Amino acid sequence: MPVAAATSEISFSQTQTASLAPGGKKQAAAKELAADLVIIGGGVGGCAAALAAARNGLRVILTEETDWIGGQFTAQAIPPDENSWIETCGATKSYLNLREQIREYYLRHYPLTPYARATPYLNPGNGWVSRLCHEPRVSLAVLQQLMAPYVGGQKILILLRHQAADAQTSGDRVEAVRVRSLESGREVVLRAPYLVDATELGDLLPLTKTEYVTGAESQKETGEPHAPAVAAPHNMQSFTSCFAMDYLRGEDHTIEKPRDYAFWRGFVPAVKPAWPGPLLSWTYSDAITSQGTKLETDPEKGTGLWTYRRLADKSLFAEGTYPGDISLVNWPQNDYMLGNLCEVSAEEAARHLEGAKQLSLSLLYWLQTEAPRPDGGTGWKGMRLRPDVLGTEDGLAKYPYIRESRRIRAEFTVLEQHVSTEFRMKETGAKPEEVKAAEFNDSVGIGSYRIDLHPSTGGDNSIDVSSLPYQIPLGALLPQRVENLLPVCKNLGVTHITNGCYRLHPVEWNIGEAVGALAAFCLARKRVPREVRKQSGLFKSFQNLLVDQGVPLAWPKFTPR
């Protein structure tokens, strides 16, 4: 059952107030909006938090930098990375419903073949990275449908193209966040009893003076087997500027030679263990073994990386619907590992973002002109950039695919020792078929994924470690000091290592859903999240609320491994 928020009478009040500025100086008057919950960032976790909060009676303000809500699903264009049992379990009820709504959208609106319509678990792209590879606009449409009743009923207000500029704090509380329209430059001050950092890079943490960590912690600090001997705050996973393309045989869609093509054509990643050769090559470093592996692509036959994250398999649609398959390129060859987007100046971040775009365009140009083909030829001129699929002019995703961000210093931090298959077997002596991840009494959800770290900005090659189905502890969602700011993305209490298995779509959704429900629960009972976690009776009531709303707190005993 939903909880009735104690502050449900708060509306999206519109008043004029002096906007906040560093040093306490007043700026020109700005509009002020107030609600029960302010969520900065409209990605996967932000959307889940907004829906859960609204479902439980709160009025929510949700902001988003781009003009698409949905984050990894939409603006970053990534088909969902999920656990092996996602079709039947391993996520919240609302996440599983989201997946079904995506399939239903195709069944209602697309001319599918009889075969595709009869397929129980339709995978529109037939990609092999995900059981639900699909076009980002479909995710966007479904998320907008889910939001629509709350938007129409003034339970959720969405501010697109708005970015956090600064924040006002008082002691251990965040009082307000000032956001700026990226279209008009106008500013709005947002106030609420609870605020959520749903940004991809943890942008609110420095703005609100919330303690946080970046990069790799030292092994001395965490005891993790794969942590470095010395902490490396700037050593973060690579990010990717994704793009979509199709292939039209016999046509020439070669793009203009990218400005930095010569650089990227000769670039060999300076990582350890060593990369096997040039980045723009079919031979790349295997994530598990770090040995050179070769996986050629043939768009004509639909093999190799072409199908890896394919968004649309034309064979599943009525003849003539698609001129060719649509493939989303988030491949080993366009991971950008020369710098970060956070903890650097705006100028440096812009330089790295442009560098990532140049890498992706260089990869496309290489594919069109120089890539060795299985038939002995070179390049596929018929590969065509699809800006329409991603809703951009340059053909690249609206936002880079971020794998690692700032992370709160939390009441509890999830370590490699809690989830690593090898460590847990050694620690517990359990047999492979019986070993389990550490159990958390303060669980607010579940997740599962390998510890999958891409090559990093500090010179590390991939780290890929077997991990066990795990729980999401509430302690990892609570900052050590700040009372009313909560994380819902990759900014929770994990490490550089465990971020590798807590960063994917269903887990981020679960975190957001738990946080949205938590805000409503706390407001209804006039308690703060820290009290909920510490008081067993109170916390049990909160867990019961989550279970009633379809949030599993533990993995089924029958889950195979």
Q: Hey, what domains does the chain have and what are their CATH numbers?
A: 13-124+135-214+482-548 (3.50.50.60), 239-390 (no CATH)
Q: Where are the beta strands (DSSP E) in 454-541?
A: 463-465, 470-473, 485-487
DSSP state at residue 396: B
Q: What's residue 277's pLDDT?
A: 96
Q: For residue 329, is pLDDT > 70? A: yes
What's the confidence (pLDDT) of residue 486? 98
Q: Which of 454, 417, 401, 457 is nearest to 290 (CA)?
A: 454
Does residue 559 surpass a pLDDT of 50? no
Contact 313, 333 (CB under 8 A): no
pLDDT at residue 30 in the model:
77
Mean pLDDT computed over 434-458:
97
pTM of the model: 0.95
pLDDT of residue 198: 98
For 44-63, give the DSSP string: HHHHHHHHHHHHTT--EEEE
pLDDT in tens, 179-218: 999 999 999 999 999 999 999 999 999 999 999 999 999 9
Residue 10: pLDDT band with limits 50, 70, 90: very low
Exposure string (b/e) for 146-184, b if CB count within 10 Å is 16 or more? bbeebbeeebbbbbbebbbbbbbeeeebbbbbbbbeeee
Q: Give the pLDDT of residue 557.
A: 80
Question: In terms of Cα–Cα distance, which of 12, 24, 72 is closest to 48?
Answer: 72
Tens digit of pLDDT for each residue in 374-425? Answer: 999 999 999 999 999 999 999 999 999 999 999 999 999 999 999 999 999 9
* Alpha carbon separation from 374 to 263, 299, 379, 503, 552 (Å, rounded): 26, 11, 10, 36, 47
Given a cut of 60, whether residue 361 has pLDDT beyond it is yes
What does the alpha-carbon distance between residue 429 and residue 236 come to, in Å, rounded to a whole number?
Answer: 33
**Residue 1 reports pLDDT greater than 70:** no
Give the pLDDT score at 296: 79
> Which has more confidence, 47 or 290?
47
Q: How many CA atoms lie within 13 A of 399 on its CB side?
A: 26
Helix and strand numbers (H, E) in the chain are 15, 24
Q: What does the pLDDT read at residue 23?
A: 52
Is residue 546 predicted with pLDDT exceeding 50? yes
Does 21 score more than 70 pLDDT? no
For position 237, what pLDDT does the model report? 97
**What CA–CA distance (Å, rounded) separates 508 from 502?**
7
For 45-50, what is the mean pLDDT?
A: 98
Question: What is the mean pLDDT of the segment spanning 514-532?
Answer: 98
Q: With bands split at pLDDT 50, 70 and 90, how would you rate the model's confidence at 432?
A: confident
Is the pLDDT reported for residue 558 higher than 60? no
Whether the per-residue pLDDT at 244 is higher than 70: the answer is yes
Side-chain half-sphere of 282: how many Cα atoms within 13 Å? 17
pLDDT of residue 6: 42
How much is the average pLDDT of 491-505? 98
Mean pLDDT in the chain?
94
Mean local confidence (pLDDT), 118-146: 97
Instruction: List the one residue out of 12, 81, 91, 73 whose CA is nearest residue 551.
Output: 91
% of the chain at pLDDT higher than 90: 91
Beta strands in 370-484 (DSSP E): 383-385, 407-408, 443-447, 451-453, 463-465, 470-473
Confidence (pLDDT) at 443: 98
Which of the four pLDDT bands, split at 50, 70 and 90, describes residue 7?
very low
Residue 8 pLDDT class (50, 70, 90 cuts): very low
Please give the pLDDT value at position 18: 46
CA 22 – CA 315 distance, rounded (Å): 57
Q: Has residue 15 got a pLDDT over 60?
A: no
Lowest-confidence range among 221-230, 233-242, 552-561? 552-561
pLDDT number for residue 27 = 54
